[in-house]
Structure formats: structure tokens, C-alpha cells
Amino acid sequence: MDRITVHGLNVKETETGDYDKIITLVTQELGKITVTGKGVKSLKSRHMVACQPFAYSTFVLKKSKKFWYIEESENIECFFGIRTEMDRLALSAYVCDVLCDVTVENAPEPDLLRLTLNTLYAISYRKDIDLDMIKAAFEMRCACECGFCPELSGCDVCGCDVQGDVYLDVMNGRLLCPSCKPRAEKEEALIEGTARLYYIISPCVLAAMRYVIACDLPKLLAFTIEKDELYLFGKVAEGYLTNHLEHKFATLDFYKSILL
Ligand SMILES: [Zn+2]
């Protein structure tokens, strides 16, 4: 029987009985794993706190046949502030949904896990930071950690150091200056089956993108952006991530629906 200590974030759970649930953990040690939480919903369970949604905890797990069972658990962080407001809760659900989607079993992604934990921390405790900024920074950086980092040094065709508004060619992860965009778009149109998506981005949005993709992770939210520019940055970051992941997230739709 295998036994292992892991540090894991509860990103998803399925109720299987009055007191039981199946928990999906994204762990530092094993990547994404599924754990059988027998009796953990009971108030009497010593694992209840470690097994609640969004909890980051240490677990001693043992494997029997195909399933991991919890032997010991200790909660490290439960991100208490997430539960204080519906928009914080909804955004946290989306962030965990993304992490769950981009991780697999036996492939630890420590940087993605750290990004998600830092993001949940900000959602929970940094009430001075706009939630849209936390969301956009997470999405842009997450796309990079997943291997879709855009090249933002200059126009990809002529190499010019872009000034003023510029186009982001989402699916090719590159910038196009206004002079090169029409020709590049025409060439792209000749390649069948290629998805095309372009955003016009302002110098402020470009600066925010450049910062977020390159900064040290603990400083991810140490930038400022005007409210109307943040709206555009948010649109671009969301479009960039979801189009590269080729995935729609019901949790994202829910987050957006409660902001209306
Ligand atoms: Zn150009």
C-alpha cells in the first residue's frame, strides 16, 4: 500500500453521499489527483477543514487499489475572505476551475499552483485591489505558464518598436503594427482552419501585459492601470487565455453574470 504526504489545493468536489465527497486536489508533489473523502463532510470529521472548497492543506494519503484515501490532514490556508462576498467566491471558483483544467495527473506544475494560491490570497485578503485586475493578471500569467506566452517586444512582421495602438494577434501570440496588420491578416486567412482573433491594444494595456508576463510572481499585482484601461486589459487577458485553452468555463460565465 502506497503512502505519501502531499500539499494540495481543493479545486473541485463531487458529493457522493450525505457525508462523503470525491475531492480533486492539485498537489505540489503529484499534480492533479482524486481523493476519496469518506465522512469528511461531517462536522465531527477531523478532515472537514482541510477538505473544504478552496482549502490548501497537507495530507497524508494512502492508496488502495485505484483510490487515494486521507489518513491525516492539516489545513495550511482556507482563504477565509473568499466566502465573504459572492463575487469573490465566484472568481475563486473560476480560478480553481482553470487550474483543474490545465493540470494532469503525475505532472506537478508548481508555478501554476503558486500562481493560483497567490491569486486566491489576493481575492481573499487584498480588498484594496480591483477584482478585475486580479482576474486579468491571473489569466495572462496563466496563459504564459501553460506555454502560450506572447512575444511583445515589437511588431512580429517589420520588427518596429510599436508606438500607439497596436494589434495583438491572439492565436499567434504576437504583435502587429497597423501597417503590417492588413497583409498579415490576409496571409492568415489563406491558411484554412486557423482561428483568427485580433485585439487592438493601447500602450497602457501593452505595458500591463509586458509587466504581468515577465515580473517576479510575488509582484504580479504591483502595477497600476486606469479603470477604463483595466476594462480592456481584462477583455484581452480573458480572450487570450480562453482561446488558447479552447475551453469555455461555466464558472467564468457565472462570475460575469453576477457582475451585471
Ligand atoms: Zn509592422
Give the distance (Å) from ligand 1 centre to CA of residue 198.
14
Alpha-carbon distances of 258 from 26, 37, 102, 234, rounded to whole Å:
27, 31, 25, 16
Could you tell me if 88 and 14 are in contact, meaning their C-beta atoms sit under 8 angstroms apart?
A: no
Please give the DSSP secondary-structure letter assigned to residue 148. Answer: I
Whether 102 and 54 share a structural domain: no
What's the CA gap between 200 and 216, in Å, rounded?
Answer: 27
Confidence at residue 164, expressed as pLDDT on a 0 to 100 scale: 92
Give the model's pLDDT for residue 1: 56
Same domain, 142 and 39: no
Helix axis angle for 110-125 and 86-102, nearest 10°, is 180
Q: Which pLDDT belongs to residue 196?
A: 83
Residues in CB range of 200: below 8 A, 6 or more apart: 165, 166, 167, 168
Q: Quote the distance between the C-alpha of residue 117 and its chain's center.
A: 10
**Is the domain of 100 the same as that of 71?**
no
Same-domain status, 57 and 107: no
CB 148 within 8 A of CB 244: yes
Question: Ligand 1 center to residue 166 CA distance, Å?
Answer: 9
Q: With contact defined as beta carbons under 8 Å apart, do 22 and 36 qualify? A: yes
The whole domain housing 8 covers 2-77
pLDDT at 193 (0 to 100)? 67
Around ion ligand 1, which residues have CB less than 5 A away? 155, 157-158, 177, 180
Residue 158 lies in a domain: no
Say if 176 falls within a structural domain. Answer: no
Residue where a domain terminates, one of 30, 57, 77: 77
pLDDT of res. 13: 94
CA dihedral 180, 181, 183, 184 (to 10 degrees): 100
The pLDDT averaged over each successive group of 10 residues in the chain (260 residues) is: 91 92 96 93 92 96 90 96 95 98 94 98 96 98 97 95 93 95 84 81 97 97 95 97 94 94
Residues 207 and 140 in one domain: yes
The residue type found at 43 is L
- From the CA of 205, how far away is ligand 1's center (Å)? 18
Q: Are 9 and 44 found together in one domain?
A: yes
pLDDT at 48: 93
CA–CA separation, 242 vs 139, rounded Å? 9
